[in-house]
Amino acid sequence: SQQGEEDPQALSIQEGENATMNCSYKTSINNLQWYRQNSGRGLVHLILIRSNEREKHSGRLRVTLDTSKKSSSLLITASRAADTASYFCAITRGTSYDKVIFGPGTSLSVIP
């Protein structure tokens, strides 16, 4: 299966702590993306990192990509209760016209 794995499946932290989620995949990729999904809602695109990039930042988010290990991590710093959601990594092997394959997701709970 091309679908990646995410680790951990569920994560519970106190507000203010950092949250780290990992994603592994099995094929070569063109880019990897992270999405957030609040319960029962649509996807929110967080960050896209290309295969030739190693790290990207966006506000409190930091994403790393190690193509040699076929893995990526999402770090949320100084977490807030509003960060409580499911987080998915998704890979694209080719262009944006190619299918996006989602990992199983990590359920993050930030306790106030």
Partner 1 sequence: GAVVSQHPSWVICKSGTSVKIECRSLDFQATTMFWYRQFPKQSLMLMATSNEGSKATYEQGVEKDKFLINHASLTLSTLTVTSAHPEDSSFYICSASGPGADTQYFGPGTRLTVL
The residues of the shown chain that bind partner 1, judged by CB under 8 A, are 3, 31, 33, 35, 40-43, 45, 48, 88, 92, 95-97, 99-105, 107
User: How far apart are CB 70 and partner 1 at their closest, in Å?
Assistant: 18
Which residue, 17 or 50, is less far from partner 1 as judged by CB?
Answer: 50
Phi/psi for 54 (5° steps) reads: -115, -25
C-alpha angle 55/98/63, rounded to 5°?
15
User: How far apart are CB 102 and partner 1 at their closest, in Å?
Assistant: 5
User: How far apart are CB 81 and partner 1 at their closest, in Å?
Assistant: 20
Residue 21 identity (one-letter amino acid)? M
Cα pseudo-dihedral 70, 86, 59, 67, rounded to 10: 0
